[in-house]
Amino acid sequence: IFFRSVFLPTSLMPVIKFQPKTDAEVCRAFWSKAQKQDDHQDVFYGMITAGLSEPVPKPGKGDWLREHEEKGQTLRQFENCSFRIEPHGHCDTILLQPVGDYPDDAEAAPPLNALAEYVTAFYGVPTRVLPAVALEKIPGLTTRMHGGFRQLLIGDIYNFMKELLKSRDLARKTLAVVAVTMEDLYPGDDWNFVYGQAYALEAVGVFSFARFHPSFSPPSTPASASAVMLQRSCKVLTHEIGHLAGLRHCIHRRCLLNGVNHELEMQMQPLQLCPLCLKKLSGSFKWHLMTRSQQLLAFYTAHKGFEEAAQKEQSMQAYLATRQQKG
């Protein structure tokens, strides 16, 4: 789950004393099962020494690491992860399944074609948008009114998505299927809402973009509704697919896979993976780092609201070019 969304007041949440990882601990986290000692020549670890990555800041009141005890994940722990999506053979496509009324208006909902384009650039695999499914087509869908909004029970949508994957044609080629909706979601009666959930064992994700609209959570800096929604949606979508790919919440560096508790923390979260998480998925998805960075930069420069991310990709490309010259 990407955000805390329970009834329990923040004042009653347990306070976790998070200790940032030392440089030595971060270095050891990069060791693979084949390594017996740290490798400071590693291209990924070099991103830290080159200033392309920032340490995790000390959590403040209400922040994720102040209220959730995270153990993190080293490269070896990732390599030992049994349940994670990984492209192989013809099984290489991520499917986006719109659920309910999904407006064809960039000011009302993040464009599905832009989301698919971004997932393709980020994960380097084909991403396809399926025809939308009407709510009445989901068997036994439970709904409720909460806070003036209609909410859908996320488990019912998850069960529908599992059945969808039983189609022989889809199962043979599908790496993961992700339901996206502009309806608000909840996982149970004791919860206010949830932004989404990822089910790694079944390679299924269910996510709502309803609360990413500025009318629901105004950004702290002026921006158009379409830019805010697209950036937030790209962030949560790639974060949760990262969980399907075997990544746990990251505590080693500032990272897309950091846990997030509130809107400001989400705004501060980068769109990029940290060097450690980048190394994990680079092997699984067989990324060519320069090509991937170029594709991401093309997306960032083509859409408003991604200026900071574009600058980071430019810095990444300069670093990779320098490494190629030395190597």
Could you read off the pLDDT of 44-60 as tens digits, one per residue? 999 999 999 999 988 88
% of the chain with per-residue pLDDT over 90: 61
pLDDT given at position 83: 85
> Can you tell me the distance from the alpha carbon of 59 to that of 17, in angstroms, rounded to the nearest whole number?
9
Q: Which of 137, 191, 198 is nearest to 163 (CA)?
A: 137
Mean pLDDT, to the nearest integer, of 32-55?
78
Encoding tokens for residue 41?
Answer: 């020549």
pLDDT given at position 308: 95
Buried-state track 249-280, b at ≥16 Cβ within 10 A, e below 16:
bbbbbbbbbbbbbebebbbebbbbbbbbbbbb
Q: Which amino acid is at 37?
A: Q
> Can you tell me the distance from the alpha carbon of 266 to that of 281, in angstroms, rounded to the nearest whole number?
22
> Can you tell me the distance from the alpha carbon of 30 to that of 279, in angstroms, rounded to the nearest whole number?
8
pLDDT given at position 167: 78
Could you read off the pLDDT of 174-226 as tens digits, one per residue? 999 999 999 999 999 988 888 888 888 899 999 999 988 767 766 555 567 78
Of the two residues 106 and 291, the one the predictor is more confident about is 291
Q: What is the DSSP letter of 137?
A: G
Could you read off the pLDDT of 241-298 as tens digits, one per residue? 999 999 999 999 999 999 888 778 888 899 999 999 999 999 999 999 999 999 999 9
What is the three-class DSSP state of 220? coil
pLDDT band at 9 (very low <50, low <70, confident <90, very high): very low
> Can you tell me the distance from the alpha carbon of 251 to that of 52, in angstroms, rounded to the nearest whole number?
16
Could you read off the pLDDT of 133-145 as tens digits, one per residue? 999 999 999 999 9
pLDDT given at position 8: 41
pLDDT band at 10 (very low <50, low <70, confident <90, very high): very low
Of the two residues 42 and 2, the one the predictor is more confident about is 42
% of the chain with per-residue pLDDT over 70: 89
| Residue 247: C-alpha distances to residues 33, 53, 135, 207 (Å) | 17, 18, 31, 18
> Can you tell me the distance from the alpha carbon of 15 to that of 9, in angstroms, rounded to the nearest whole number?
13
Q: What is the DSSP letter of 58?
A: P
pLDDT band at 68 (very low <50, low <70, confident <90, very high): confident
Q: Average model confidence (pLDDT) for the chain?
A: 87
Contacts of 314 (CB under 8 A, 6+ apart): 297
Task: Give CA torsion, residues 18, 24, 29, 32, to 10 deg.
Answer: -170
**Any bridge partners for residue 144, and if so which?**
151
> Can you tell me the distance from the alpha carbon of 160 to that of 132, in angstroms, rounded to the nearest whole number?
13
Mean pLDDT, to the nearest integer, of 146-174?
88
pLDDT band at 168 (very low <50, low <70, confident <90, very high): low
Which helix (H) or strand (E) is 268 found in, with range? helix 263-268
Total residues belonging to the chain: 327
pLDDT given at position 263: 76
pLDDT given at position 217: 63
pLDDT band at 123 (very low <50, low <70, confident <90, very high): very high
Contacts of 56 (CB under 8 A, 6+ apart): 20, 21, 65, 251, 252, 253, 254, 258
pLDDT given at position 221: 54
Encoding tokens for residue 138?
Answer: 């989901």
**With 90 as the cut, is the pLDDT of residue 315 above it?**
yes
Q: Which of 316, 288, 323 is nearest to 121 (CA)?
A: 288
**Beta pairing class for 204-208 and 174-181:** parallel
Tally of CB atoms within 10 A around 210: 20
Domains observed in the chain: 70-287 (3.40.390.10), 288-326 (no CATH)
